[in-house]
Structure 1
């Protein structure tokens, strides 16, 4: 179940880059993040209140640092997406697979297996081929550096979630809800105090709210609940490897809905990435 959920997360996240780029055309980055995670928090609040009444969240404070990390991820990632190409963003964010293996090795006594590290390297190579265009190179402008920072923070996020929630009394619903609250509050404060973006200028365009509804329900509410559930069941490195397949599903989405085509090199990258993800999914936990 954890592996299946993470593959479903990769599928919905594969569609998120283009949708995010469309949404921030209507408003500021900070206000968009505040709206997206504020709605997520409000949707989960009734369920979390019930859990608190039943005494299921005695260790709720462990969610606060992971929420802070998540806030940083989205500031860097959304700004990066607005400043770089989709191909660059897809490749650079996938480097979190390698970063996670390194961070997991540093923070955990259980070192990732050699087969898992090898699959992580192979999947990253597959993403490089999948996002390769002959006339485009991987540049490192401000947007690329932000995406690279977000990739490193993603690695820290999954590793710290595993470490902080291990044997703690906190439900996955409460963990997701508190994280969403921290992100929404951080985005609001950044918009109001730093960028001086007026919080009152909420967009009323139908397209913005349709995109935001999809992002809230699938790419935030479902995705982060599933991630929090799965990371507590399997290793952080394996979780990142499975979620790192999102560029593959992003390419499939582009082919189906945008009538884009892949080159032979990109097809090879897709095959390599799919093979590595399937290998990680079917191996027994004690083997990978």
Structure 2
């Protein structure tokens, strides 16, 4: 983890990423296409946009180990499952309910980081995490339904949260030696293949959609994927997966507000209050995580898997 080489304050790219991913649920709600088709074209269009920036790095894939190949495959598969579960949940429940459950991600990341990397979190940072999660709960509390349809959507959102936590932890490990753009390109490609197999196996049509649908697929690629997921993958070189997942707690705030303005979904006083609490908890967590990092000795830099200079992330 190379925190000290980031030339701009970390909150700037974090805010950009939060705003970008907040639009994801709006675009998904707008589309009538199956979520597996939305996810596939979302990532396929992203790959096309990334290719001019990554093609010179493709040769590096020849040097990776079988262990790293397996990790890339798992990361891409988990990402596809995340989109499938979470985007599917948006078809069954409200934006607030789905994004609130997605905000449980830091819990799974923190547990996974401790098991996989023995990565500890300070008590102060844990307090910030708990405060932010409580605020997120306030946002979605009034919308969490008790109908079978809402319960199914809630379960899908939880499953999506678990698998994206696994995806981020694998990314944290691989990005110690991988250029960020190459890592993102590789896992997106794997996820597109997984979606393609899924659609073909279930007989889901991958063509014949309206111009409006293709426009939504493109928006999903540009806004929440490039300026959201790709940006967060880049930041994993400088901050922990737990920090990124905490930043994503800002998504319920942005997504709920956008749903109120654009989709006419109701927004209660507790949800407004919860948004303020989320931001306060997020700020407290990030401040204490940074203090903990600065007070710790720098970790030894691992030797890259390939010779020659590595390409900077982003």
TM over 0.5: yes
| CA distance, structure 2, for counterparts of residue 64 and residue 223 of structure 1 | 21
- 1:142–1:4: structure 2 CA closer, same or farther, 3 Å change rule? same
Q: Choose which of 112, 135, 151 in structure 1 pairs with 2:161.
A: 151
| CA distance, structure 1, for counterparts of residue 77 and residue 256 of structure 2 | 31
| CA distance, structure 2, for counterparts of residue 8 and residue 220 of structure 1 | 12
CA contact (8 A) 2:22 2:224 kept: no
2:230 match = 225
2:186 match = 178
* TM-score (norm. length: structure 1): 0.87
Q: Choose which of 204, 207, 219 in structure 2 pairs with 1:197.
A: 204
2:272 match = 267
CA contact (8 A) 1:57 1:174 kept: no
2:121 aligns to what SS in structure 1? coil
Aligned length: 280
- 1:69–1:258: structure 2 CA closer, same or farther, 3 Å change rule? closer
1:142 match = 152
Give the alignment of 1:51-90 within 5 angstroms: 51-52=57-58, 58-59=63-64, 61=69, 62-90=71-99
- 1:134–1:150: structure 2 CA closer, same or farther, 3 Å change rule? closer
How far apart are 1:57 and its partner, in Å? Answer: 7.9
- 1:197–1:261: structure 2 CA closer, same or farther, 3 Å change rule? closer
2:209 aligns to what SS in structure 1? coil
How far apart are 1:3 and its partner, in Å? Answer: 3.5
Q: Choose which of 242, 247, 254 in structure 1 pairs with 2:252.
A: 247
2:137 match = 128
| Structure 2 residues without counterparts, runs of 5 or longer | 1-8, 294-314
CA offsets 1:241-266 (integer angstroms, 9 cap, x no match): 11121011123324544566643322
- 1:42–1:210: structure 2 CA closer, same or farther, 3 Å change rule? same
1:112 aligns to what SS in structure 2? coil
The answer to whether residue 67 in structure 2 is matched with residue 48 in structure 1 is no
The answer to whether residue 40 in structure 2 is matched with residue 14 in structure 1 is no
The answer to whether residue 104 in structure 2 is matched with residue 95 in structure 1 is yes
- Taking only aligned residues, the RMSD between alpha carbons, in angstroms, comes to 2.5
| Structure 1 residues without counterparts, runs of 5 or longer | none
The answer to whether residue 40 in structure 2 is matched with residue 31 in structure 1 is no
1:274 aligns to what SS in structure 2? helix
CA offsets 1:109-162 (integer angstroms, 9 cap, x no match): 221111222211111110111123289559762221111011111221212211
* TM-score (norm. length: structure 2): 0.81
Q: Choose which of 97, 115, 118 in structure 2 pairs with 1:109.
A: 118
CA contact (8 A) 2:102 2:160 kept: yes
| CA distance, structure 1, for counterparts of residue 144 and residue 72 of structure 2 | 44
- 1:242–1:196: structure 2 CA closer, same or farther, 3 Å change rule? same
CA contact (8 A) 2:106 2:245 kept: yes
